[in-house]
Every structure is written in C-alpha cells, then in structure tokens.
A and B are shown apart, each in its own frame.
Chain A
Amino acid sequence: MTATQNRLTIYSLFLPEEGNFMQKWNSMQFDQILQYTLSGLSTGAIYALIGIGFSIIYNSTGIINFAQGEFVMLGGMLTLFFTGLLKLPLWAAIPCAVLSSTVVGLLFERLAIRPLRQPTPINLVIITIGGSILIRGLSMLLWGKDTHALQPFSGEEPIFIGGATILPQHLWILGITMIIIAANKYFFYHTISGKAMRACAYNRRAAGLVGIDVRRMILFSFIISSAMGAVAGIIVAPLTMTAYDVGIMLGLKGFCAAIIGGMSSGMATVIGGLLLGVLESLGAGMISSGYKDAIAFIILLIILFVRPQGLFGKAESERV
C-alpha cells in the first residue's frame, strides 16, 4: 500500500459520512492526535530506558553496546520462560528475569569486552554486534521463533482520557520508568559507587589515579544497563509482544533516544525517548504505518548530521 492509500484508509476509518465534514474531522482529529501522543509517550518511555542503558555504558567505557537491545529481548523472553515453563507467578518471574539478564550482561563484559586485546572502536563495534547475534541466536535455539504475548500486569480494562483510551499497562510503563530514572539519579549522585562511575565518565585515567577500580566500574555499568534493558523489555512485552528478534529494533530506537539526548544518562535522554516515541507514533498514524521505523532513523540521521552533540547541547547534558 502506498503512503496516500494508507492515509486514505486511516481517514476513512473515522469519516463515516459526508455531513458537517470539517467539524467532525476536527474533533476526531484531535482525539486521534491525543491517542497517538499517549501511546507514543509509553513507547517513548521504553526507548528512554534503553537509551539510558546505552549512555551509561558509553560514558564509562566509550563503547556503544550494540547488544543492548538483546537485554531488552532477554527481559521479555525470560519472564515468559519463568511464568510459562516454570509456572512462577508474575511478581516472582520478573525479578528472576531481570537477574538472569543481568548475569548475561556480566558474562558478556567479562568474557568478550574485557579480554579484547585491541579495543579500537571498530573492534568494539564488531564484538558487540557479534555478542548480540550470539545472544539472539541462542535465544532462538532455546525458545524458538514464535512471537509471544506476556500477560498484562493488571488487567486489560481500557481507561478513557478525553477522547482517547489507554491501557493499564501504559500506566505501568510510565510509572516504572519514572521510578527507575529517579533511582538512577539517586545512585549516580548520592552513592559512592555512583559517584565513582561518574568520575570514570569524566576521566578514566584520573579516576584510576585517585584509587577508583575502573574495571569494576565498567563491569557495574554493564550490570546496570543490562538490568535496565531487561526491565524495559518486561514492561513493554504485554503491549507489543515479544520474540527472539525484537531486540534489534528496540535497541536501535533506544540508541536514537540516547543520541537525541546527547548520550546523557539523565533527563535529556528521557526527553529524547519521549520525543522519539511521540513523533514515531504520530508519524505512523498520520503518514504511514509502514514507514514507522523509518521515521525514527530519519530523525537519528538528521540529529547526527545537524547536532551530533544531541538536541540539548553539551552544556545541558550530564554525562554519567
């Protein structure tokens, strides 16, 4: 279907008759925009969480972890595994899934990143891509290629806001994202480990000189970001379904969010994620759903070309 055809079908969905065309069109359009914005915000929150994961590793190691998306996938798939096969209740399966994904993140750092003899940027890109392929392949081997839905955390009764509806799961996503971001902030500004990690982000050598174990901080950054990725994957799974290969796209979108936020691990990336989510959702609804993913990457390219330091510039981004 071409873009125009697609737009026409979408319009015709809420244009049942010809009478008082403009009036109906305007109010319908407003509701529609509200709907797209609301659902965009919740996907945007997911992108923000993934993006922060990217930034944490990037700032402490200078690595763009191409395997970040795989932890998102692992979060969703492991929760399914624990609830489905091991019959654990959801509240128990979620921490287990986060923990297992974190262990994978830890192993990845210890077995692949740390032993690297020539850590040039290209080698690091290649090794994290290799890691992501390996994790994805093993998940396919373990759980097959099917797409699965995770049960929503609390029912599927839609909630009406103005002319739009949202699901309880959207609220879960927004709430959990906010809690994680607040916890993150607390960790990086009010604990010794967090402060040490920030020191590594500013200057690794100087941090080493004042007695910070830089390698340990790098390991920490992998642990934190794989845990955050897993949480993102778990809270989004009831909405978007999950499969062994969802990590690629989610990871890339998270990276877009981080780029928009200038690789900060604070609010800038959150805003970047929300912006991306809303633009993508509006674009998919108003222009063409087929080009939904393209929109995110066009935004990514434009930002990389015009403002590689992120939308909010260097001065405002906190590099953690």
Chain B
Amino acid sequence: MKKELIKFIVFAALLLCAPLLFAGGYLMNVLVFVGINTMLAIALNLLLGYAGQISLGHAGFFGLGAYLSGIFTTTFGFNPWLAIPVAAIVVGILAALIGFPILRLKGHYLAMATLGMGIIIFIVFNETINYTGGPSGLSGIPPLSVGNIVFDSDIKNYYLVWSVTLIIVIFSLNLANSRIGRALRALHDSEVAARVMGVNTRLLKVQIFALSAMISSIAGSLYAHTMTFISPASFGFNFSVELLTMVVIGGLGSVYGSFLGAALLTLLPEFLRAAHDYDIIIYGALLMLMVMYMPGGLVRGIPELFMKLIKARKGPWNA
C-alpha cells in the first residue's frame, strides 16, 4: 500500500511540475488533452481491463457529457459547475438503462452492440440540430470559473483538468484494490466462478458500465468547457477506437498504463505533424503489433523487455 502511495505522489508531483517546463508553449494545450484522454482511458480500462467487458461506444458517452454540459449551459443557462454533475448523472442513468440488456451479451456481440450504440448516439448529435447545432457544432460554451478566476487559458485548464484526473486516478486505484475491484477481476477471469463465489455479476457489470460512462461524461463536460466549442466529429467511432487503442497500448487493468497509453496516443500525432492524415495508419499498426507482441501493454511489456535484455546479457537464452 505504501508503495502505491509513493508511486501516486511521484506521479502527481511530476504532473504538477510539468508546466514549469512547458508553460506558455503549444504543448501546454496538448497536455490538457492528455489529461482528458487519461480520464477516458481510465474509464474504459475499468470496464475493459478490470471487468473484461469491451465497449466500442465510449466516445458516445464522452460526447453525451460534452453536449449535455454544452446544452445545459448555453440553452438553459445552468452554471457550468452544476451542469457537469447533472450531465454525469443523466449519462449514468442512461448507461445503466442500456447496460442491463447490452451487458448480457459477451465478446464479439458486446463489441458490436456497444459499437451500434455509439453510432446511434453519434447520429443523434448530427440530427438534433435544434439542440446540438448538428454537424457544424455547438459554440459559445462558457468556461468554468471559481470566484474571479476564469479557466480560460491553457495553464489554468491544465491544473483544472489534471486535478480532476488525479481525483479519478485515486478513486480508480482505491476501487481496484477494494472488494469491488477483486469482484471485478473475478468477473474478468470467469463469470461463472464469480457468480458461484457470491458476486452479483449482472448488477456489477451494469454498475461498472454506468460508472465508466459517468467518468467519460465528466471528461466530456471538461472538454466542452475548456474548448468552448464542440462538434460531432470528435465523438465518432474513430475516437472510440482510439480510446481502445490507448487502453490496450498502455496495459489492460492498469491505471498508470491508461495514462501511458493516453499520453502516447495524444502526443504521437503532435510529433508526427508532417504525417498528420496518416496517423491512423500508425494507430492501426500499433494496435496490431501491441496485441501480437506485447499483450500486457507498455506498463508490463517494457519491464519485461528490460528483464529479457538483462537475462540475454547474462548468458545464452536458448539454453
């Protein structure tokens, strides 16, 4: 437990100091996105990595959070601080309602069903023009503020987003080490065995699905309030796949892995500016290579590789 605490403190300290290095630069803005994507990757990881339930529709929940927050504040004049939890609760209820029938499915069927759900949500964003502005997007979403401080610059947004992200990191770490976390892992390994041990798997799956959707919704709201403009294109099927890639590359069932995956996939396109349109090829290739050669993700694969190298140096490996 102590080791966990030290790990977290180092992680948080590094993040809090990062602006000292990058402040003012364009990278600051990218780091805000790393924060939002980390939240999303953790949300999906709780579902996929811990509970073993795939979702290809999480961009939909992200989008719902963003749009609900946007519509509540612009059309109905909510305070942004009120809009975020209200949006999260609405999305959570919706996810629970969808979750009961959808989570009875397994494997490929679950993947397709969640994918269908995500695409339906995406189409709704495009078609309910009166509320969402349709394909041209929703603008004029107010930024968050505390007293006189308005979160309108990259550096302020950085601290805003990362504070929320760190809370979610702590929450997820605690959840993973709790009774619920153990139940989730049991569910992952064998649903029947988990049920035999007294875990209400049906309910647990729905709960974790709803929780994951709510975290995604919070990330969506923060995205809306920091960007102040949203359009459906950010919440399509491609983004669901990108989230999946983050979780898989980082490492299934690891909170810090989600951060690694999110950071890599958010920063990579920035370094590949020249190949901007073609970053999708790199995603595809990365996704395939990771599953084939590093199924544990970066967070386990890198130490493993390291160990192998040390061993290889010590003596012939094929002995």
**Residues of A participating in the B interface, judged by any CB pair closer than 8 Å:** 1-3, 58, 63-64, 66, 112, 115-118, 121-127, 129-138, 140-141, 145, 248, 252, 255-256, 259, 288, 290-291, 293-294, 297-298, 300-301, 304-305, 308
Tell whether, in the assembled complex, residue B287 and residue A133 are in contact, meaning their CB atoms are under 8 Å apart.
Answer: yes
Tell whether, in the assembled complex, residue A123 and residue B105 are in contact, meaning their CB atoms are under 8 Å apart.
Answer: no
The 9 closest A-B pairs by CB, nearest first: A133-B284, A134-B284, A137-B281, A130-B287, A121-B107, A130-B288, A64-B108, A297-B116, A305-B101
Tell whether, in the assembled complex, residue B113 and residue A122 are in contact, meaning their CB atoms are under 8 Å apart.
Answer: no
Given known pairs A122-B54, A298-B120, A300-B112, the reply for A137 and B284 (CB within 8 Å) is yes
A138 CB contacts on chain B under 8 angstroms: 281
A-B contacts, 30 listed (Cβ < 8 Å): A2-B127, A3-B127, A64-B111, A116-B291, A118-B295, A122-B52, A122-B54, A125-B107, A129-B56, A129-B287, A130-B284, A130-B287, A134-B288, A135-B284, A136-B280, A136-B284, A137-B281, A140-B280, A145-B277, A248-B237, A290-B126, A293-B123, A294-B124, A297-B116, A297-B120, A300-B112, A301-B113, A304-B102, A304-B113, A305-B104
B288 CB contacts on chain A under 8 angstroms: 112, 127, 130-131, 134
A300 CB contacts on chain B under 8 angstroms: 112-113, 116
Tell whether, in the assembled complex, residue A137 and residue B116 are in contact, meaning their CB atoms are under 8 Å apart.
Answer: no
State the interface size on chain B (CB cutoff 8 A). 44
User: CA of A121 to CA of B109 in the docked complex: distance in angstroms?
Assistant: 10
A222 to chain B, nearest CB (A): 16
Tell whether, in the assembled complex, residue A291 and residue B123 are in contact, meaning their CB atoms are under 8 Å apart.
Answer: yes
Tell whether, in the assembled complex, residue B280 and residue A133 are in contact, meaning their CB atoms are under 8 Å apart.
Answer: yes
Tell whether, in the assembled complex, residue A141 and residue B116 are in contact, meaning their CB atoms are under 8 Å apart.
Answer: no
Tell whether, in the assembled complex, residue B291 and residue A123 are in contact, meaning their CB atoms are under 8 Å apart.
Answer: yes
A304 CB contacts on chain B under 8 angstroms: 102, 105, 109, 112-113, 116
- Is B283 in contact with chain A by the CB < 8 A criterion? yes
Tell whether, in the assembled complex, residue B295 and residue A123 are in contact, meaning their CB atoms are under 8 Å apart.
Answer: yes
A290 CB contacts on chain B under 8 angstroms: 123, 126-127
B269 to chain A, nearest CB (A): 13
Chain A residue with minimal CB distance to B123?
Answer: A294
Tell whether, in the assembled complex, residue B295 and residue A64 are in contact, meaning their CB atoms are under 8 Å apart.
Answer: no
B192 to chain A, nearest CB (A): 16
List which B92-145 residues lie within 8 A (CB) of chain A.
Answer: 101-102, 104-109, 111-113, 115-117, 119-120, 123-124, 126-130
Chain A residue with minimal CB distance to B126?
Answer: A290
List which B261-293 residues lie within 8 A (CB) of chain A.
Answer: 277-278, 280-281, 283-288, 291-292
B43 to chain A, nearest CB (A): 17
Chain B residue with minimal CB distance to A119?
Answer: B291
B292 to chain A, nearest CB (A): 6
Tell whether, in the assembled complex, residue B113 and residue A137 are in contact, meaning their CB atoms are under 8 Å apart.
Answer: no
B104 CB contacts on chain A under 8 angstroms: 305
User: CA of A141 to CA of B278 in the docked complex: distance in angstroms?
Assistant: 7
A272 to chain B, nearest CB (A): 14
List which B196-253 residues lie within 8 A (CB) of chain A.
Answer: 237, 241, 244, 248
User: CA of A110 to CA of B275 in the docked complex: distance in angstroms?
Assistant: 28
User: CA of A138 to CA of B288 in the docked complex: distance in angstroms?
Assistant: 15
A-side interface mostly: helix
Residue of A115, A126, A140 with most partner-chain B CB within 10 A? A126
User: CA of A248 to CA of B280 in the docked complex: distance in angstroms?
Assistant: 14
User: CA of A293 to CA of B120 in the docked complex: distance in angstroms?
Assistant: 8
A20 to chain B, nearest CB (A): 34
A125 to chain B, nearest CB (A): 5
B21 to chain A, nearest CB (A): 33
Instruction: Kindly identify which residue among B105, B124, B283, B291 contacts A127, using a CB–CB cutoff of 8 Å.
Output: B291
User: CA of A46 to CA of B60 in the docked complex: distance in angstroms?
Assistant: 28
Tell whether, in the assembled complex, residue B295 and residue A117 are in contact, meaning their CB atoms are under 8 Å apart.
Answer: yes
Tell whether, in the assembled complex, residue B278 and residue A140 are in contact, meaning their CB atoms are under 8 Å apart.
Answer: yes
User: CA of A137 to CA of B287 in the docked complex: distance in angstroms?
Assistant: 13
User: CA of A118 to CA of B281 in the docked complex: distance in angstroms?
Assistant: 23
- Is B42 in contact with chain A by the CB < 8 A criterion? no
List which B36-58 residues lie within 8 A (CB) of chain A.
Answer: 48, 52, 54, 56
Tell whether, in the assembled complex, residue B241 and residue A294 are in contact, meaning their CB atoms are under 8 Å apart.
Answer: no
Assuming A133-B281, A304-B113, what are 8 further A-B pairs, CB within 8 angstroms?
A2-B130, A126-B248, A130-B288, A134-B285, A137-B280, A140-B280, A297-B119, A300-B113
User: CA of A129 to CA of B114 in the docked complex: distance in angstroms?
Assistant: 14
A258 to chain B, nearest CB (A): 10
Chain A residue with minimal CB distance to B293?
Answer: A117
User: CA of A219 to CA of B277 in the docked complex: distance in angstroms?
Assistant: 32
A116 CB contacts on chain B under 8 angstroms: 291-292
Tell whether, in the assembled complex, residue A126 and residue B120 are in contact, meaning their CB atoms are under 8 Å apart.
Answer: no
User: CA of A117 to CA of B288 in the docked complex: distance in angstroms?
Assistant: 12
Tell whether, in the assembled complex, residue A301 and residue B116 are in contact, meaning their CB atoms are under 8 Å apart.
Answer: yes
Given known pairs A137-B284, A308-B105, the reply for A115 and B292 (CB within 8 Å) is yes
B115 to chain A, nearest CB (A): 7
User: CA of A118 to CA of B252 in the docked complex: distance in angstroms?
Assistant: 14
Tell whether, in the assembled complex, residue A129 and residue B244 are in contact, meaning their CB atoms are under 8 Å apart.
Answer: yes
User: CA of A304 to CA of B288 in the docked complex: distance in angstroms?
Assistant: 28
Tell whether, in the assembled complex, residue B277 and residue A140 are in contact, meaning their CB atoms are under 8 Å apart.
Answer: yes
Tell whether, in the assembled complex, residue A252 and residue B129 are in contact, meaning their CB atoms are under 8 Å apart.
Answer: no
A32 to chain B, nearest CB (A): 22
Chain A residue with minimal CB distance to B119?
Answer: A297
B239 to chain A, nearest CB (A): 13
B128 CB contacts on chain A under 8 angstroms: 2
User: CA of A137 to CA of B102 in the docked complex: distance in angstroms?
Assistant: 31
User: CA of A301 to CA of B120 in the docked complex: distance in angstroms?
Assistant: 10
Tell whether, in the assembled complex, residue B278 and residue A64 are in contact, meaning their CB atoms are under 8 Å apart.
Answer: no
Chain B residue with minimal CB distance to A133?
Answer: B284
Tell whether, in the assembled complex, residue A291 and residue B127 are in contact, meaning their CB atoms are under 8 Å apart.
Answer: yes
